[in-house]
Chain A
Amino acid sequence: MRTYIVRRVRQSLYVIVGLSILVFALLHLTGDPASVLLPPYASANERAEFRRQMGFDDPVYVQYLRFAGNALRGDFGTSFLQGQPALGLILERVPATLELSAAAMAFGLALALPAGIVSALWRDELADYFCMTMALLGQSIAVFWLGLMLMTIFSVGLDLFPVSGRGGFAHLVLPAVTLGSYTAARTARLTRSELLEVLGQDFIRTARAKGLWEGIVIAKHAFRNAMVPVVTIVALEMGTLLGGAVITETIFSWPGVARLMVQSIYERDFPVVQVGVFLIGAALVALNLLVDVLYALLDPRIRYR
């Protein structure tokens, strides 16, 4: 197991280096940062001078090596626009993003697991139809529409929650519900189908045949086995939540990483984008590794060498 983890960590480093090269190249394809950073009345000469000062006139690979060399020493550069170290700017947004992702995931799972189990146990009955219709809606409703509707009804109409910003628990509810609804829908459907498959297997029949209480059969034998694919999806979903909450963060003015990243891409603030991609990439890689380790814990048949 340890050898496996060491090998996976090493592979992950290649992935992250590859990712940084790709992002660097793509960012430079989006055009000249000087054209965004300088006012429109800047002349061609002024723009050229600014490019020289900032080092944008070097070949892209030279710029990349300079970036990579500094990054190895822990210096990810200074934001062009914000005048502060890019790493710090991203890190200060991480708590907000973690808070929202965790809350969204908690909401999603709290809704999805019971719904998935109920649907599987009462298959093709009213409860199943209801849960799966809600899941279908959850997966197909546009996030921005859901967010605005929740805001209109619960914030402005019923005056229960604030419209925007970060603060206490009340600020967290609507963004978490908005962001978590897709996760809930997807996980509920998956839980249902996995559980149905497991319930049809021989060992469940054996468990029932030997007279085990149905609760034990479901909780101990069926549910645990059905969880292996669900854990994968949940972990991947967590990765999506961390990096992909752009729309939710924008609608609810949530001060997370995703909003900063999108803004930095628009404004071509390359150092901030680089660090952000690096950190989100590293988090995804770590999550994947965690899933593989969890597999072994959930399913004793899985062993890594």
Chain B
Amino acid sequence: MAGRAVKGYSRREFVKSSAVGLAGLSAGFPRVRRASAAGKGEVEQVTVGLVQEAFTVDPHMNFSRYNLDTVNQIFEQLVHRDAKAKMVPGLATAWRQTAERTWRFDLRKGVKFHEGEPFDAESVKYSFDRIQDPNQKSALTPTLRLVEKTSVVDAQTIEIITKQPAPVLPAYLSLFTNIGNKSWLTAKGDQFAARNANGTGPFKLVEWRKGDFTRLTRFDQYWGGAAAIKNVVLKPVPDANTRVLALRKGEVDIIQELPPALADEVKKYPDLRVSAVPSIRVHFLYLRQDAKPFDDPRVRQAVNHAVNKDAIVQKLLRGFGHPLTQVLTPAIFGYNPAVKGYPYDPERAKALLREAGHPKGFSTELSGYPALKEILEAVAGNLKEVGIDATIRIDDYGVHFENIRKRKASPMTYLTWGNFNLFDADGTLPYLFLPESEWSYYTPPARLVELNRLAASSGDQRKRQEAYHEIMKILQAEAPLLLLHQQFDINAANTKTTWQTRSDNVMLLYGAERV
């Protein structure tokens, strides 16, 4: 398959796409870390107040991001992301597309699992096959839906055949698809693996008292150099106020998910710091164009001009957010800096409504879940000012999403989207705008569908980017969503370590060291 010429896919495109892999190769040597086992910057113990502990430490069963905060300290993926979310070599040192539907990954040499076994291609194949095995009932199966077959080329090389041309495959292999040990997993069985772990990551699992704490210790033979933090305690502290009190008291060193309202409290203490970064999660409302009056693009644009996003960010989120100009954030491949969004302009909104034949406005319904109440009220208040009378409907979180899936969403329905941490438009556009997606309430123009098909299958990153840029322009005119804001991931810590929130907000402790 590898060398076969594929119609519509030139050699030049292969070479270009391989550039990713070459970049990987050059950076592929074991990274020499400032934090080394030599002792400089060492920290005896770091305790983290998590929102929620892991459900399981089986690397192949759970997709929840809270699970990753534990599991991804212990296990690793083929592709890593640096703190800025750029893809960098992980257990694979380089990767390249060798044919339209074929990818090759060169695996890192000299890597060991915590119990001493060498890491090789068999473990990668076993891990992917296990995730895809129907009998395993893994919740991660959809993560590998692009993958048709994984095969071992030799001990240090793996080949993946995809079901369709998949330029985004490495991104899919960068977060959830952890590599477990074939012989260990088969010998120990599923129930043992749910509670015990043998990975290649910088930390080893030592003790797990469910509901209370998880204790990790650094893996001295880690290929990237031993972590500066010797011991890690992960404690679930579900209440945000308690997390802040525990941080103040010094019981924990890092806490997750600081509510914006508590940020000022944390800032009062000189030995504490707020660590916030723009997330790739965006907040918006669907405007259901399958129902009047949102079938008219002018009405959808009017709604976008009517809502004061800056005020929502400043007043309700206390500045922890950015008003959106488009459905992608600047960190996501495909973001078009030329698209400027819809400035707050009630007069323009009224004019558009008049043009569309609604000089006196209209009545509609806004829906969301309890955590969004304040934002929904602000949106409804803005809409009222241009004559749109929106009733607010609040449902339970689960019911809200089920309504969306079952096509029962309100004309204006709140949703947030996290791009599945792909940092590529492919993690957003097909889901929100293509008719076959359960999440889409939009009938896209043929041009958008065509551009998306091209971008999702081309190996040429420049062509992909052009296609996405054009899609962003089309969406600006079409206004299928009421765009609100990009959220921030807000954590807090004391000044004991250099730990910072990552762009993908995964709580990785490797790389942090004493201040």
Contact = CB atoms under 8 A, between A and B. Distances in A.
Given A164-B237, A253-B236, A155 B249 contact: yes
Contact of B242 (A39, A81, A83, A151): A151
A38 B139 contact: yes
Given A53-B134, A83-B191, A84-B195, A39 B237 contact: no
B264 interface: no
B209 A53 contact: no
Nearest to A46: B142
B431 A41 contact: yes
Contacts of A140: none
A53 B143 CA distance: 17
A76 interface: no
B55 interface: yes
Given A93-B210, A250-B238, A256-B211, A263 B402 contact: no
Contacts of A268: 398
A96 interface: yes
A41 B140 CA distance: 10
Interface residues of A, number: 51
Nearest to A264: B55
Nearest to A52: B134
Interface stretch (A9-17, A29-37, A204-212, A219-227): A29-37
A54 interface: yes
Given A93-B210, A253-B239, A41 B405 contact: no
Contacts of A166: 212
A39 B213 contact: no
Contacts of A253: 212, 235-239, 242
A107 interface: no
A263 B52 contact: yes
A41 B143 CA distance: 8
Interface stretch (B56-64, B94-102, B271-279, B308-316): B56-64
A89 B210 contact: yes
A36 B251 contact: no
B45 interface: no
Interface string B235-253: 1111101100110110100
Interface string B431-447: 10000011100000000
B142 A42 contact: yes
Nearest to A81: B55
B57 to A, nearest CB: 9
Interface in B94-143: 134-135, 137, 139-143
Most A Cβ at <10 Å: residue of B140, B235, B246: B246
B210 A163 contact: no
Nearest to B247: A163
Contact of A165 (B52, B191, B213, B420): B213
A93 B211 contact: yes
Interface string A54-96: 1000000000000000000000001001111100010011001
A46 B401 CA distance: 17
A164 B251 contact: yes
Nearest to A256: B211
B27 interface: no
A82 B56 contact: yes
Contact of A31 (B191, B399, B427): B399
Contact of A50 (B141, B211, B431): B141
Interface of A: 30-32, 35-44, 46, 49-50, 53-54, 78, 81-85, 89, 92-93, 96, 144, 148, 151-152, 155-156, 159, 162-166, 250-253, 255-256, 259-260, 263, 267-268
Please provide the 3 A-B residue pairs with the shortest distance between their CB atoms, ordered closest to farther: A255-B211, A83-B194, A81-B55
Given A84-B194, A253-B212, A259-B238, 4 more contacts: A39-B143, A50-B137, A83-B61, A165-B251
18 contacts: A31-B399, A39-B63, A41-B142, A41-B420, A43-B438, A82-B55, A83-B55, A84-B56, A84-B191, A92-B210, A96-B212, A144-B239, A162-B249, A165-B213, A251-B241, A253-B212, A256-B211, A268-B398
